[in-house]
Amino acid sequence: MQQLRNLGRRKLRTSLTILGITIGIWALVVFGSMANKINALVAGGSQFYEGKVTVSAKGAGMGFGSPVDISAGDRVASMGGVDVVVPGVSMLLADEASSMSMSMPQMIRGQVADADRGRETFPMSYASGRALTPADEGSNVAVLGSDIARQHDTKVGDTITLHGEPFQVVGILEPTLTAPDTTVVVPLEAAQRLYVKTLPPLVAAELDPATLATGFTVYPKPGTDPETIATEIRATAPDLEPVTAKDFNSQIGSATSILNSILVGIALISLAVGGLSVINTMAMSVAERTREIGIKRAIGGGRLRIVRELVTESALIGFLGGATGLVLGAVLVTVVNEAGRSSGTVLFQLTTGTALTAVGFSTVLGALAGLIPAMHAARLDPVAALRYE
Amino acid sequence: MTATALLEGRNLRKTYRLGRRTTVEALRGVDVRIDRGEMVAIMGPSGSGKSTLMHILGLLHSPDANHGPRPELSFGGQDMVNLGEGERTKIRAREMGFVFQDFNLVPTLTAIENVMLACDYAGIRGAPARALAAEALALVDLADRADHRPAELSGGEQQRVAIARALVNKPSLILADEPTGNLDSERSAEVLGLLRRFNQEHGQTFILVTHDPDVAAACDRVIRVRDGRIRDQSLSAVPQPLDLEAREAVA
Ligand SMILES: Nc1ncnc2c1ncn2[C@@H]1O[C@H](COP(=O)(O)OP(=O)(O)OP(=O)(O)O)[C@@H](O)[C@H]1O
Ligand SMILES: [Mg+2]
The interface predicted TM-score (ipTM) is 0.89
pLDDT reported for residue A191: 92
* Spatial separation of the C-alpha atoms in residues B239 and B131, rounded to whole Å: 36
pLDDT reported for residue B36: 94
In contact, B216 and B236? CB cutoff 8 Å: yes
Return the closest-CA partner of residue A84 out of A114, A116, A57, A109: A116
pLDDT reported for residue A261: 87
The Cβ of residue B155 has, within 10 Å, a number of other Cβ atoms equal to 14
Classify residue A85: in a domain, yes or no.
Answer: yes
B93 touching A, CB under 8 A?
Answer: yes
* Spatial separation of the C-alpha atoms in residues A323 and A321, rounded to whole Å: 6
pLDDT tens profile B193-227: 889 998 999 899 999 999 888 889 889 999 999 99
Cβ within 8 Å of B, A 251-310: 291-292, 294-303, 305
Domain boundary among A178, A211, A243: A243
Question: B155-167 and B126-139 are packed helices; what angle lies between their axes, rounded to 10 degrees?
Answer: 130
A264 with A305, same domain: the answer is: yes
pLDDT reported for residue B248: 46
A181 with A102, same domain: the answer is: yes
A329 with A214, same domain: the answer is: no
Ligand 1 atom 2: residue of nearest CA: B16
A188 with A58, same domain: the answer is: yes
- Can you say how many angstroms the Cα of residue A129 is from the centroid of all Cα atoms in its chain? 27
Domain boundary among A225, A243, A261: A243
At B225, give phi and psi (nearest 5°). Answer: -110, 140
A213 with A273, same domain: the answer is: no
In contact, A167 and A186? CB cutoff 8 Å: yes
Chain A residues with CB under 8 Å of B104 CB are 295
Q: Name the residue facing B60 among A6, A298, A302 (closest C-beta).
A: A298
pLDDT reported for residue B245: 46
* Spatial separation of the C-alpha atoms in residues A112 and A366, rounded to whole Å: 58
Name the domain count of chain A.
2
What mean pLDDT comes out for the span B172-190?
A: 86
In contact, A170 and A153? CB cutoff 8 Å: no
Classify residue A47: in a domain, yes or no.
Answer: no
Q: Please tell me the distance between residue B93's alpha carbon and the centre of ligand 2 in angstroms.
A: 22
Ligand nearest to the CA of B43: 1
Return the closest-CA partner of residue A385 out of B110, B113, B100, B119: B100
pLDDT reported for residue A38: 84
* Spatial separation of the C-alpha atoms in residues A188 and A212, rounded to whole Å: 10
Which ligand 1 atom is at minimum distance from the Cα of B211? 25
Chain A residues with CB under 8 Å of B117 CB are 296, 299, 301
A22 with A147, same domain: the answer is: no
| Secondary structure of residue B235 in the 3-state scheme | strand
Ligand 1 atom 22: residue of nearest CA: B51
* Spatial separation of the C-alpha atoms in residues A253 and A133, rounded to whole Å: 34
pLDDT reported for residue A119: 75
Chain A residues with CB under 8 Å of B94 CB are 300
* Spatial separation of the C-alpha atoms in residues B25 and B63, rounded to whole Å: 12
Q: Please tell me the distance between residue A388's alpha carbon and the centre of ligand 1 in angstroms.
A: 14
pLDDT tens profile A313-339: 999 999 999 999 999 999 999 999 888
* Spatial separation of the C-alpha atoms in residues A92 and A111, rounded to whole Å: 15
Ligand nearest to the CA of B224: 1
pLDDT reported for residue A202: 79
pLDDT tens profile A60-87: 444 445 778 888 888 888 888 888 899 9
Chain A residues with CB under 8 Å of B89 CB are 297, 300-303
Digit-by-digit pLDDT tens for chain A (389 residues) are 778 888 888 889 999 999 999 999 999 899 989 888 888 888 877 887 888 888 888 754 444 457 788 888 888 888 888 888 999 998 888 765 554 455 567 889 998 888 777 777 777 889 899 989 889 988 999 999 988 898 888 899 999 999 889 999 999 998 877 778 889 999 999 999 998 888 888 778 878 888 888 889 999 988 888 888 999 888 888 888 888 888 888 888 778 888 888 888 888 888 888 889 899 999 999 999 999 999 999 999 999 999 999 999 999 999 999 999 999 999 999 999 888 776 666 788 899 998 999 999 999 999 999 999 999 999 999 999 988 87
Classify residue A190: in a domain, yes or no.
Answer: yes
Classify residue A228: in a domain, yes or no.
Answer: yes
Classify residue A355: in a domain, yes or no.
Answer: yes
Ligand 2 is an ion; residues with CB less than 5 A from it: B 51
Ligand 1 atom 6: residue of nearest CA: B16
B251 band by pLDDT with thresholds 50, 70 and 90: very low
| Better-predicted residue by pLDDT, B3 or A85 | A85
pLDDT reported for residue B186: 83
Q: Is the pLDDT of residue B168 over 60?
A: yes
Classify residue A353: in a domain, yes or no.
Answer: yes
pLDDT reported for residue A18: 93
A70 with A166, same domain: the answer is: yes
Domain boundary among A197, A212, A243: A243
A23 with A92, same domain: the answer is: no
Classify residue A160: in a domain, yes or no.
Answer: yes
Chain B residues with CB under 8 Å of A303 CB are 85-86, 89
Return the closest-CA partner of residue A193 out of A105, A130, A108: A108
A27 with A131, same domain: the answer is: no
* Spatial separation of the C-alpha atoms in residues A155 and A144, rounded to whole Å: 9
Classify residue A351: in a domain, yes or no.
Answer: yes
A265 with A225, same domain: the answer is: no
What mean pLDDT comes out for the span B227-243?
A: 65
What mean pLDDT comes out for the span B152-180?
A: 92
A269 with A371, same domain: the answer is: yes
Mutation for A interface: B104, B147, B161, most A CBs within 10 A:
B104
Q: Residue A301: which domain range?
A: 2-42+252-386
A232 with A363, same domain: the answer is: no
Cα end-to-end span (Å), chain B = 34
Q: Name the residue facing B98 among A291, A298, A305 (closest C-beta).
A: A298
pLDDT reported for residue B2: 62
Q: Where are the alpha helices (DSSP H) in A289-351?
A: 290-298, 303-341
Element (H, E) at A220: strand A215-220
pLDDT tens profile B5-54: 899 999 999 999 888 888 999 999 999 999 999 999 999 999 999 999 99
- Cβ B121–A305 below 8 Å, yes or no? yes
Sign of CA dihedral A103, A105, A110, A115: negative
pLDDT reported for residue B241: 46
Q: Name the residue facing A295 among B61, B85, B103 (closest C-beta).
A: B103
